Amino acid sequence: MKKFLIWMRVLVSTALACLVVFAYSPAVFAFCGFYVSQADASLFNKASQVVIARDGKRTVLTMANDYQGDIKDFALVVPVPVLLKKEQVRIGEQKIIDRLDSFSAPRLVEYFDSDPCARYEAYDSINLSGATRSAAPMMESKARRDNYQVTIEAKFAVGEYDILILSAKDSDGLEAWLIDNDYKIPQGAKDLLQPYIRQNMKFFVAKVNIAELSKTGSQSLRPLMMAYESPKFMLPIRLGMLNANGDQDLLVYILSPKGQAEVANYRTIKVPSGSDIPVYVKNEFGDFYKSMFKTSYNKEGGKVAFLEYAWDMSSCDPCSAEPLSQEELRKAGVFWIGSPDSSKPSGRRIRPVPFPPTNDGRVFITRLHIRYNRSNFPEDLAFKETSNQESFQGRYVLRYPFKGETSCDAGKEYQRSLRPRFEKEAQTLASLTGWNLADIRRKMNISSLPDPVETPFWENIWK
């Protein structure tokens, strides 16, 4: 019942927004339409999700762990630009990441043709707070401890994770230290560790404490959040490629008070959007989007980041989910929003990050979708903030024909327009997905439509 009420609220608010646009500013472009379905992270089997809240040099990074396998074998090694302390690391909430995913996911919308014989003119121009404890005793090195050239800069525990912050002078020594201390890392990691060592980066290393995990009652690992200040606006992905069998999908949700974010060292392009596609795709939207994304990925040669969504978080059109509340945004790491009770001297809520708020309520979300493997992304992702506040969404349109009586002249003209319109939709779908055009036509049953009748040219010139 609650989901139904939310859906009705979205439907009504969208319809009202469209009425306002139609009534007062027909030249203003708006998306409108009725939201139907979305292409979220669940479509992709190997999809990792990362949330980055960034303002200036301050960053809050949230990583969702999609580890598959025995939990005792889990080992997370993430290069970080600064030495992190215990108070800079928190446990995040998976439901917040799911909310960001749902809000920004590519979407399917419906339009319904009006009666062409009706006597009115319709505008068609709108065509971190986790419980902490003392760290578990670390296993002493079995041998060669003095030869690793690895320094434990910090060690602490957050939730079900035992965490070390390491620095190293040599990738061979770091790899050997990790293996000797029972961190199960992929073979060949040292070749990818060395560039981070040369940049004087630290290593955030986490293992799961099984006893603590059982206390959470969770069947999966919770996200980890880390807050730090650094001029480096980047995301290390190369270590993750060692575990990869084929392509991996990465969804990055970047939250900023300024505007869109882009990948600085690879091309950022918009995912194909706005196309009219056959109405039968409503029941195959997941397959459509996966095929469309794969086709676009192959066309671009793979070395690109796709922009799937960019919007001010305070609104949406059409909404695939309710915008996140200020409390949810704070849990996502948005530190520049002040808590409503932040002025109270005592009993106030603990902010999820250590940065003070600026009380600037603007939050702009950018959703980037990167499909990567060992060959097409030789460098880690570097990002850049921009002041571009242009709205964009991956959006695909179903247009349903009018089914009533169309005996007037306008109605006859409308009926003649349907077959070429449906043919164009079929060809668009084939182009976007690589699907067989004959199969698409068969599913649309285009052959059953009457052939369009050519209007003699003299009838047009005498009008």
Predicted confidence (pLDDT) at residue 130 exceeds the cutoff of 50: no
Average pLDDT over residues 230-248: 80
Lowest-pLDDT choice from 169-178, 300-309, 371-380, 452-461: 452-461
More confident residue, 307 or 191: 307
Can you give the pLDDT at residue 192?
A: 83
**pLDDT band of 32, cuts 50, 70, 90:** low
Beta strands in 134-212 (DSSP E): 150-158, 161-168, 202-208
More confident residue, 251 or 345: 251
Can you give the pLDDT at residue 2?
A: 37
Tell me the pLDDT tens digit for each residue of 289-342.
Answer: 999 999 999 999 888 999 999 999 998 888 899 999 999 999 999 999 876 544
In degrees and rounded to multiples of 5, residue 172 shows phi and psi of: -60, -45
Give the strand pairing for 107-112 and 132-133.
unpaired
Supply 144's token pair: 């060669």
The SS3 assignment for 186 reads: coil
Angle between helix 409-433 and 285-299 (nearest 10): 60
In degrees and rounded to multiples of 5, residue 301 shows phi and psi of: 80, 10
More confident residue, 202 or 450: 202
Can you give the pLDDT at residue 220?
A: 78
Predicted confidence (pLDDT) at residue 127 exceeds the cutoff of 50: no
Q: Which residues make Cβ contacts (< 8 Å) with residue 73, sequence separation at least 6? A: 184
Question: Whose CA is closest to 164, among 176, 145, 178, 175?
Answer: 178
> DSSP assignment, residue 279?
G
Can you give the pLDDT at residue 426?
A: 96
Can you give the pLDDT at residue 99?
A: 96
Predicted confidence (pLDDT) at residue 20 exceeds the cutoff of 80: no
* Concatenated DSSP letters of 298-312: HHTTS-EEEEEEEEE
Percentage of the chain beyond pLDDT 70 is 77
369 close to 251: Cβ distance less than 8 angstroms: yes
Angle at 460 between CA 458 and CA 462, to 5 degrees: 70
Predicted confidence (pLDDT) at residue 83 exceeds the cutoff of 50: yes
Predicted confidence (pLDDT) at residue 373 exceeds the cutoff of 70: yes
Q: Which residues make Cβ contacts (< 8 Å) with residue 273, sequence separation at least 6? A: 106, 392, 393, 394, 395, 396
Predicted confidence (pLDDT) at residue 138 exceeds the cutoff of 80: no
The SS3 assignment for 188 reads: coil
Lowest-pLDDT choice from 60-69, 182-191, 390-399: 182-191
In degrees and rounded to multiples of 5, residue 117 shows phi and psi of: -95, -5
Predicted confidence (pLDDT) at residue 403 exceeds the cutoff of 80: yes
Can you give the pLDDT at residue 353?
A: 53
**pLDDT band of 7, cuts 50, 70, 90:** very low
Tell me the pLDDT tens digit for each residue of 41-66.
Answer: 888 877 889 999 999 999 999 998 77
Give whichever of 67-71, 285-289, 377-381 has the largest mean pLDDT.
285-289
Can you give the pLDDT at residue 132?
A: 40
More confident residue, 125 or 371: 371
Can you give the pLDDT at residue 131?
A: 41
In degrees and rounded to multiples of 5, residue 328 shows phi and psi of: -65, -40
Tell me the pLDDT tens digit for each residue of 443-460.
Answer: 998 766 655 545 554 455
CA distance 413 to 416: 5
Match 């194909």 to its residue by tokens.
Answer: 272
Predicted confidence (pLDDT) at residue 133 exceeds the cutoff of 80: no
Torsion from C-alpha of 429, 434, 439, 444, nearest 10 degrees:
-10
Supply 361's token pair: 């309520």
**pLDDT band of 8, cuts 50, 70, 90:** very low
333 close to 91: Cβ distance less than 8 angstroms: no
Supply 153's token pair: 């800069």
Can you give the pLDDT at residue 162?
A: 94
Question: Across the chain, what does the average pLDDT equal?
Answer: 80
CA distance 397 to 152: 55
Average pLDDT over residues 152-164: 94
Tell me the pLDDT tens digit for each residue of 283-303.
Answer: 999 999 999 999 999 999 888
